[in-house]
Amino acid sequence: MTNDAYIQVEALTKYFPVRKGFFKRVVGQVKAVDGVSFSMRRGETLGIVGESGCGKSTIGRTMIHLLEPTSGSVRFGGQDVGEMLRTDAKSLRRRMQIIFQDPYGSLNPRLTVKEIVGEGVKFHGLARGKKALDSYVADVLVEAGLLPEHRHRYPHEFSGGQRQRICIARAIAVRPEVIVCDEPVSALDVSIQSQVLNTLKDLQERERLTYLFITHDLSVVKFISDRVVIMYLGKMMEIAPTAAIFDNPLHPYAKALLSSIPMPDPTRKTEQVLLEGDIPSPINPPSGCRFHTRCPQAMERCSQSEPPMTDAGEGHGVACFLYGP
């Protein structure tokens, strides 16, 4: 564990039972997240990237204990998050917020924007009295890139980008320290995406927010993240500062994933690596290295034992036998 870790995730695991039959007997486990460890510094953005089903959304929800981990621990400011949930759930819920992908589905259509954004403010006692609440919500809407008068309207009166700004306003209204951003711009037009991402960046600078940013979009992760984790079938394949991941990916899966994005500089040619086969089922993942069934460089040992995360220097970690031990 690093001493300056603000958040420390240690061997985090989340399995979901698979039930079958009339008696709903448990016949297996979906290993959505399987022994994931990383740390985060205060004020940084850690991007989590991978194809759908790799466990990235589950990491976010489990990290803030919206889902209870199967095993492993999360420490936040030196305290165990599970323990914080038992002793002071209210404060934990205020300090760690989440923004979801679907801005419409996560907003109650019967409530005005003021009611939506003001709910947490009232609950946490951040504004007392009607007048104070009204001006508090108006200020938060401006911070999130909306207008004060928007507080009197309903979610259906807004565009997708504006709705996501309402979700951002709701999250920042309670003055959190950490926000899990779960594909927050995936449902938006590309032209709107960068505006919302810029708002998130501005807010982060101003409030010193820490983001766990989950996305399947490599250009989004490149734009927003300080460091990136590449996930495959519930496991971390690689972690590194953003520039290192994009300029010099080490893991064969990371290389394949990144080779699919067009290079802005056509003189720098990267050979496209096409992966064969489908992603295996997380109910019965491959033995050893989970990527061995699709890896172009797989060796005999890769199906027998699991490669540990190896330090490749300068904050670059990779779980592959090509890099040791």
Question: Which residues are paired to 215 by β-bridges?
Answer: 49
Q: Point out which span in 103-111, 123-131, 259-267, 295-303 binds ligand SF4 (CB under 6 A).
A: 295-303
Q: Does 235 bind ligand SF4 (CB under 6 A)?
A: no
Whether residue 133 contacts residue 122, with contact meaning beta carbons closer than 8 Å, is answered with: yes
The beta strand positions in the chain, using DSSP E, are: 7-20, 25-40, 45-49, 71-76, 79-80, 96-99, 178-182, 210-215, 227-232, 235-241, 310-311, 317-318
Q: Which stretch binds ligand SF4 (CB under 6 A): 84-92, 103-111, 156-164, 284-292?
A: 284-292
| One of 297, 308, 315, 324 touching ligand SF4 (CB under 6 A) | 297
Size of the site for ligand SF4 (CB under 6 A): 14
Does 98 interact with ligand SF4 (rule: CB under 6 A)? no
Q: Does residue 275 belong to the site contacting ligand SF4 (CB under 6 A)? A: no
Find out whether 198 and 175 touch, Cβ atoms under 8 Å.
no
Binding pattern to ligand SF4, positions 14-33, x when CB under 6 A?
Answer: --------------------
71 neighbors 13 (Cβ within 8 angstroms) = yes
CB of 323 to ligand SF4, least distance (A): 8
Q: Give 165 or 235: the residue with its C-beta nearer to ligand SF4.
A: 235
What mask of x and - would describe binding to ligand SF4 in positions 188 to 227, judged by CB under 6 A? ----------------------------------------
Q: What is the Cα–Cα distance from 88 to 73, expressed in whole angstroms?
A: 17
> How many helices, marked H, and strands, marked E, lie in the chain?
9, 12
**Other CB atoms within 10 A of residue 30 CB:** 19
The site for ligand SF4 (CB under 6 A) is made up of 251-252, 289, 291-292, 295, 297-299, 302, 307, 320-322
